[in-house]
Amino acid sequence: MVIVLDLGHGGRDPGAVGFGLQEKDVVLALGRQVLSFLEDYQVNVIPTRTSDVYVSLADRANLANHHKADFFCSLHINSGGGSGFESYIHPDASQKSQSMAATLHREVSKFYLERGFPDRGLKRANFAVLRKTTMPAVLLENLFIDNPQDAACLADPVFLRDLAFAITGGLARTLGLKKRTGWDPNEEIKRLKEHGLITGDHAPNAAVTWGELATVLNRLLDRFEN
Ligand SMILES: [Zn+2]
């Protein structure tokens, strides 16, 4: 299972701003927490950025398409007058995308409703990352950076941590993720397949030939050299 977690904006693109906050920074703090919480689950998570760098919208979608992600989740902060939480899917989203987005939206909205923020619903928009990705994709707009009550929460590390926990739980529910347990050789093999280092099915106790081993090592070499 592969999730691409898209941390909106970054670098020369600050995103929305308000009350001394920049969307790119809030999203980075939030996204890092989600990445950390997702380490407890059996899933391969690929972030579109982990620092304050600019990544184009096309590159974000291409990353997900290249890795054949099962799900694309984009993190953003809203602005423009309002309060609360809303999420977006593409107008032409597949049935699967719609139902996965509905599950994620419902799970994350519980967090906001418990804290008195309105659930503005699951909406549709022709956003580039939703249009260009080939897998189920959703974009979460977490509160309004230009609303004083919302911004106060976005500036609070404890709030962000709890929100990240809720988003992680939502992703786990949406994708049916299992918690990591001890060593599982089947999971190890699955992870190599997800990263494209091996192909096909392999029994954990099957013997490996030199040809197979050299292929895996060469694929790794290719990545180091790129
Ligand atoms: Zn944004």
Could you tell me the distance, in angstroms and rounded to a whole number, from the CA of residue 23 to the centre of ligand 1?
7
Q: What is the mean pLDDT of residues 82-104?
A: 98
* Active-site choice (114, 141, 187, 225): 141
Q: Is the pLDDT of residue 51 over 90?
A: yes
pLDDT of residue 223: 85
The pLDDT-based confidence of 73 (bands split at 50, 70, 90) is very high
CA distance linking residue 144 with residue 78, whole number of Å: 4
pLDDT of residue 85: 98
pLDDT of residue 96: 97
Q: What are the pLDDT digits (tens) for 150-208?
A: 999 999 999 999 999 999 999 999 999 999 877 788 888 988 998 889 988 888 888 89
Q: What are the pLDDT digits (tens) for 128-157?
A: 999 999 999 999 999 999 999 999 999 999
pLDDT of residue 200: 84
Output the CA torsion sign for 27, 70, 67, 93: negative
The pLDDT-based confidence of 114 (bands split at 50, 70, 90) is very high
Mean pLDDT of the chain, nearest integer: 95
Could you tell me the distance, in angstroms and rounded to a whole number, from the CA of residue 22 to the centre of ligand 1?
10
Q: What is the mean pLDDT of residues 212-222?
A: 93
Q: Is the pLDDT of residue 215 over 90?
A: yes
Could you tell me the distance, in angstroms and rounded to a whole number, from the CA of residue 78 to the centre of ligand 1?
6
Domains and CATH numbers, the chain: 2-175 (3.40.630.40), 185-225 (no CATH)
Q: What is the mean pLDDT of residues 47-70?
A: 97
Cβ neighbour number for residue 186 with a 10 Å cutoff = 10
Give the CA distances from residue 206 to residues 186, 190, 192, 194, in Å, rounded to whole numbers and listed in that order.
12, 15, 15, 19
pLDDT of residue 184: 81
The pLDDT-based confidence of 33 (bands split at 50, 70, 90) is very high
Q: Is the pLDDT of residue 116 over 90?
A: yes
Could you tell me the distance, in angstroms and rounded to a whole number, from the CA of residue 10 to the centre of ligand 1?
10
Active site residue 141: yes
Q: Is the pLDDT of residue 226 over 80?
A: no
pLDDT of residue 132: 98
Could you tell me the distance, in angstroms and rounded to a whole number, from the CA of residue 24 to the centre of ligand 1?
8
pLDDT of residue 34: 98
Could you tell me the distance, in angstroms and rounded to a whole number, from the CA of residue 204 to the centre of ligand 1?
43
Could you tell me the distance, in angstroms and rounded to a whole number, from the CA of residue 70 to the centre of ligand 1?
22
